[in-house]
């Protein structure tokens, strides 16, 4: 901490006779920075302003990476993605009230996704806020944050900064990871204290995400249920990707020979080309399986709550591996809950299986293989077509080929059709290389996630963006250029939300609510900040531009012109759109 301790003694002629040794002091700014650094946090995503501007400067001077954004929501999304990728809480730093609120959506989304992040916001003076006397950016931020995150804390005294940050880190990482809010009132930053006492007040969190070993009887129960299966299926969720137990998860799948389905952010845990992947016959395996083992995946809306038509008529038994005991039985009965961290649970299962674990019946696996082959051939034909203008398949086939040659690239993906088609078309080969709209199906994560992926991994990032989705965070292309990040944004431009063909039936000159400016040139946006902009109207043009962007690492935006009639309302989740009673008749 010596680098940040300031000797505040001033030397004047009158002082000359006094002893020269004066106590070193430190302050709130430096204590916050040192507390983070002590816990190996080296990057802050944020946006400077009152009262945290100097904190951003001092953090940079102290050797931290300070990534400044144009809007706090994008900084928050970056922090959340960094948390998912690194198992360290991503830090988002904002100003008070409006900045805090802008960051809050990302904090709530991180919590929903089980990503560890800490939103640190400066706040106005407690005395004035609590008496509601109208302070600058007055808001009771702690109260507002509480219901939207896993934990929320406020620090009032410099000597408590170490404790506050330690509690925030532990809350974000332990058990089910999630978002934590840390409120730092403006006055705190300038508070001074003796440097040695300050140093002593800091805490290096020991074992912030303790392993949680599953109970032996729970392991045995899970194995017994699995043993009895005729049509077993394993479902991998983003919790399994987060857990970084990649080798054991692969070993479990390969040892058991059980077909598996990755949820979207678990794609690449095993290569999507793996012979046991059942992605290409998803509906069939969900409906037909008799025993389903969930590994870090919740039975929420994305899995039709574990019931209904998706799951077919055949009776099902579920085995669920999760760190959160209250997840069990949340939607349907779970026959064999296995509570613990995924690494410990999977290795306990492997140990319990011993050698000679029986493979699933051949009629189950060969039936899956047949359907898979058929569906993949159908898909291959669609991908090979070169329609003009491009459609989702032809444009995505280019990205699919590029990712195949650069499996280390991170794919960020949002939109409706752009999301749904990309999920099934773009194969992933390595774990934690796909970041997308997650549990909420949120739009606006694109540029924040892309910046974080580039900063954290140093690898090329390909952001596959619907034109609507891109609009939520598009201004961050300036951030991408400013930090010269290896991000290639591909905007799937079909002139509107879902598609660009809606008309306003009233005859009023306003266009329909789902329609954008026709033939917009999103590529010019990137050029405005010194990046590379490409207008691609054919698959060949797209291929050349993408290959060049990935090879050069230069910030690039490709405006990929897609047939404006392509796409369906809400992609593959049209059924969630309420329809008016009159229309249903
Ligand atoms: C998948 N499929 C394939 C392949 N991969 N066919 C051939 N080859 C390959 N490689 C098939 C698969 O078997 C499915 O067909 C179909 O393609 C779709 O697969 P997907 O995408 O895996 O599955 P599905 O049914 O779309 O998944 C359900 C879902 C998913 C809810 C998990 O839709 C999802 O994650 N949605 C998120 C949507 C969202 O958040 N949108 C943002 C808001 S948009 P069948 O087996 O025949 O079914 C606001 O409007
Ligand atoms: P998906 O959307 O991919 O299906 P979900 O976000 O629904 O995945 O589920 C992730 C689950 O993983 C959550 O229930 C969470 O508690 C769990 N989880 C996260 N990290 C771990 C871990 N290290 N060990 C065990 N479970 C975990």
Q: From first to last of the 585 residues of the chain, give the pLDDT tens digit.
A: 444 444 443 344 444 555 567 779 999 999 999 999 999 999 999 999 999 999 999 999 999 999 999 999 999 999 999 999 999 999 999 999 999 999 999 999 999 999 999 999 999 999 999 999 999 999 999 999 999 999 999 999 999 999 999 999 999 999 999 999 999 999 999 999 999 999 999 999 999 999 999 999 999 999 999 999 999 999 999 999 999 999 999 999 999 999 999 999 999 999 999 999 999 999 999 999 999 999 999 999 999 999 999 999 989 999 999 999 999 999 999 999 999 999 999 999 999 999 989 999 999 999 999 999 999 999 999 999 999 999 999 999 999 999 999 999 999 999 999 999 999 999 999 999 999 999 999 999 999 999 999 999 999 999 999 999 999 999 999 999 999 999 999 999 999 999 899 999 999 999 999 999 999 999 999 999 999 999 999 999 999 999 999 999 999 999 999 999 998 888 888 888 887 766 654
The alpha carbon of 315 and the centre of ligand 2 are apart by a number of angstroms equal to 25
Show the ligand 1 pocket: residues with CB < 6 angstroms.
264, 279-284, 302, 375-376, 379, 416, 419-420, 423-424, 437, 441, 570-573
Q: In what order do the strands lie in the sheet with 410-414?
A: 434-436, 410-414, 461-466, 487-493, 556-561, 532-536
Pocket test for ligand 2, best of 239, 300, 325 (most atoms within 8 A of CB): 239
Contact (Cβ atoms closer than 8 angstroms) between residue 549 and residue 558: yes
- The answer to whether the CB of 297 is under 6 A from ligand 2 is yes
For ligand 2, atom 4: residue with the closest CA: 297
Residue 552 CB coordination number (10 Å)? 13
CA distance 552 to 369: 39
Can you give the pTM of this predicted structure?
A: 0.96
User: How far apart, in Å, are the Cα atoms of 126 and each of 40, 91, 98, 155, 315?
Assistant: 31, 23, 17, 11, 57
CA distance 311 to 294: 14
Pocket test for ligand 2, best of 209, 237, 267, 327 (most atoms within 8 A of CB): 237
The alpha carbon of 417 and the centre of ligand 1 are apart by a number of angstroms equal to 10
Cβ contacts of residue 541 below 8 Å, gap of 6+? Answer: 534, 535
Contact (Cβ atoms closer than 8 angstroms) between residue 55 and residue 189: yes
């Amino acid at each position: 901490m010596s680098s940040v301790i300031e000797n505040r003694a001033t030397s004047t002629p009158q002082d000359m006779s006094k002893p020269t040794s004066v106590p070193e002091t430190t302050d709130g700014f430096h204590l916050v920075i040192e507390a983070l650094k002590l816990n190996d946090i080296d990057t802050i995503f944020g946006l400077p302003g009152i009262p945290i501007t100097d904190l951003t400067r001092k953090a940079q001077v102290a050797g931290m990476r300070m990534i400044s954004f144009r809007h706090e929501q994008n900084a928050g999304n970056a922090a959340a993605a960094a948390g998912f990728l690194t198992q360290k809480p991503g830090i988002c730093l904002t100003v008070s009230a409006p900045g805090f609120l802008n960051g809050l959506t990302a904090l709530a989304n991180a919590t929903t996704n089980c990503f560890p992040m800490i939103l640190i916001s400066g706040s106005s003076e407690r005395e004035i806020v609590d008496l509601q006397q109208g302070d600058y950016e007055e808001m009771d931020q702690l109260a507002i944050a509480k219901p939207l995150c896993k934990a929320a804390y406020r620090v009032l005294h410099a000597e408590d900064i170490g404790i506050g940050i330690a509690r925030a880190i532990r809350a974000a990482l332990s058990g089910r990871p999630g978002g934590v809010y840390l409120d730092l009132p403006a006055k705190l930053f300038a508070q001074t204290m003796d440097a040695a006492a300050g140093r002593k007040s800091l805490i290096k969190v020991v074992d912030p995400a303790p392993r949680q070993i599953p109970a032996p009887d729970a392991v045995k129960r899970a194995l017994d249920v699995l043993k009895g299966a005729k049509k077993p299926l394993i479902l991998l969720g983003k919790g399994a990707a987060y857990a970084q137990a990649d080798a054991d998860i692969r070993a479990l799948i390969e040892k058991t020979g059980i077909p598996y389905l990755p949820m979207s952010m678990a794609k690449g845990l095993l290569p999507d080309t793996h012979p046991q992947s059942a992605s290409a016959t998803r509906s069939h395996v969900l409906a037909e399986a008799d025993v389903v083992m969930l590994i870090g995946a919740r039975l929420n809306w994305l899995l039709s709550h574990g019931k209904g038509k998706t799951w077919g008529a055949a009776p099902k038994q579920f085995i669920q591996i999760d760190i959160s005991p209250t997840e069990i039985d949340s939607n349907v009965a779970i026959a064999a809950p296995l509570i613990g961290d995924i690494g410990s649970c999977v290795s306990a299962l492997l140990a319990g299986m011993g050698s000679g674990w029986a493979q699933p019946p051949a009629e189950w696996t060969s039936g899956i293989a047949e359907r898979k082959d058929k569906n993949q051939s159908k898909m291959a034909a669609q991908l090979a077509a070169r329609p003009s203008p491009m459609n989702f398949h032809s444009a995505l086939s280019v990205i699919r080929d590029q990712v195949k040659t650069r499996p280390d690239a991170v794919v960020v993906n949002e939109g409706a059709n752009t999301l749904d088609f990309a999920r099934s078309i773009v194969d992933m080969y390595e774990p934690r290389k796909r970041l997308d709209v997650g549990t909420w199906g949120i739009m606006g994560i694109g540029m924040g996630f892309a910046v974080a992926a580039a900063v954290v991994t140093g690898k090329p990032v390909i952001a596959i963006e619907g034109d609507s989705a891109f609009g939520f965070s598009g201004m961050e292309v300036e951030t991408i250029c400013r930090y010269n990040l290896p991000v290639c944004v591909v905007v799937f431009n079909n002139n509107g939300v879902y598609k660009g063909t809606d008309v306003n039936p009233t005859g009023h000159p306003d266009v329909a609510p789902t329609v954008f400016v026709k033939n917009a040139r999103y590529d010019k946006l990137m050029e405005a900040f010194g990046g590379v902009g490409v207008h691609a109207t054919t698959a060949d043009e797209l291929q050349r531009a993408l290959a060049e962007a990935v090879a050069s690492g230069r910030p690039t935006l490709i405006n990929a012109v897609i047939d404006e009639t392509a796409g369906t309302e809400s992609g593959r989740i049209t059924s969630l759109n309420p329809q008016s009673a009159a229309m249903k008749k």
